[in-house]
Homo-oligomer: A and B are copies of this chain.
Amino acid sequence: MSDQNTDVDGPEPDAHPEGAARTEGAAHTRRSGLSRRGMLGLAGAAVGAGVVGFGAGAAVGHAVGSSPTGATYPFYGANQAGIVTPAQDRLHFAAFDVAAGLDRDGLIELLRDWTVAAARMTQGRPAGKYGPASGPSDAPPDDTGEALDLPPGGLTLTFGFGPTLFTAADGTDRFGIAARRPEALVDLPRFPGDALIDSLTGGDLCVQACSEDPQVAVHAIRNLSRIAFGRAAIRWSQLGFGRTSSTSRSQTTPRNLFGFKDGTANIKAEDSTVVDDQVWAAASDGATWMHGGSYLVARKIRMTIETWDRQQLGEQERIIGRDKGEGAPLSGGTEFTEPNFLALSAGGGTKIDPDSHVRLAHPTMNDGAQLLRRGYNFVDGNDDLGRLNAGLFFIAFQRDPRKQFIPIQARLAKNDALNEYLKHVGSAIFAVPPGARDGSYVGAGLFA
């Protein structure tokens, strides 16, 4: 497992040699733990002791650091971090389109630059060598500075390649990679009820930034966008304030904006057999450069929460198929009890409605297919009628969308009782390559 000690820049110019900048006070959370200004000193001091390693599962999510906001996850490893990593609380996701003139070498250089900056930032360090305030006065800083005093925040940065990177909309093979497009990276079909907005859909590249601190996630996307200037620009982006899934048994189940627990039956990192079967692309799956990678589907789903809020509690629970307080299936038990879709109510029907969300999304209804969900709640202001533009930014990782997201969503789009309160307005799919080896870059296998 590699770590922050492997930086190749040598000791940092550290304008602030006071070392760890700890802050006190019960009334704030953001400033606790080891700040990245403190990290500078440590990182510099540790150069030379560098332990370089690489092993399967390195990025699975063993945090370094004693507090959530002080946590760091290794950037380099067999898999990219930010997939089975315990879902952090905040998100900034950005889809990028590459610039018209960019060629293959330019794309590789961008990925190299992003890799170096991402490896630094995920370890709580500035995006570039000089940091935000310690470089030459007559040059722009190579970090924008707003995260300077903040702890690493458990930041992960996860990169993906969209279908249009392989074959542009006009059919051209801009980077000589069309033949290497994985079969699993299909164009998503149009589902019943889709109301997709072009400016919220697609993208050549994506970066998913997750952190316990939203300012750390925003800082990362901003700096990657800054680094990409002239080579790629943001096509669409999304902030999420609250995770809607657990990806580890160490986490409690959060709630979505319908007020229900979400992700009770999500794939958990600890279920390594399920993770291998359902999340990671295997060497036998086709594109060998994707071995250890995964496929990310993002859907921006608006919820008509004002309408939902005027719905009876019993009807809300019928639609979901679980009770609202505990999250137990309506067939009985507690949150983690398996639903019994055959259990009959006194009235004669099944206790769990056949069109309920929990039934239609359940693996038994989908040939055993599951998704590792990693979505976030969002509110983007309000519309002209004063209704909150709110909903779920759905993110799911999977081994093959043709067997997982697409058939599951096709079933849900057709019959899910929840559809009355949902509108899918954005959609994208990306091939998420395996993790980078230290010294290499994310996606190197595609260009090898």
Contact = CB atoms under 8 A, between A and B. Distances in A.
Interface of A: 15-16, 23-31, 63, 66-69, 71, 86, 89-90, 92, 94, 96-97, 132-141, 143-149, 154, 199, 212, 214-215, 218, 221-222, 225-226, 229, 233-239, 241-242, 248, 250-252, 254-260, 305-306, 309-314, 316-317, 323-326, 377, 379-382, 384-388, 390
Contacts of A139: 312-313
A222 B148 contact: no
Contact of A145 (B25, B144, B252, B255): B255
Given A149-B252, A326-B16, A384-B199, A377 B312 contact: no
Contacts of A309: 140-141, 144, 222, 226
A215 B388 CA distance: 14
27 contacts: A15-B325, A16-B326, A26-B66, A27-B63, A27-B68, A27-B248, A29-B68, A29-B212, A132-B325, A140-B310, A140-B311, A141-B313, A141-B324, A144-B305, A145-B260, A149-B252, A149-B254, A149-B255, A215-B241, A215-B242, A225-B386, A226-B306, A233-B385, A234-B387, A234-B388, A239-B239, A380-B380
Given A31-B252, A252-B149, A222 B140 contact: no
Contacts of A134: 325
Given A28-B252, A144-B257, 9 more contacts: A27-B154, A30-B254, A137-B312, A140-B310, A215-B242, A218-B379, A222-B388, A234-B386, A241-B241
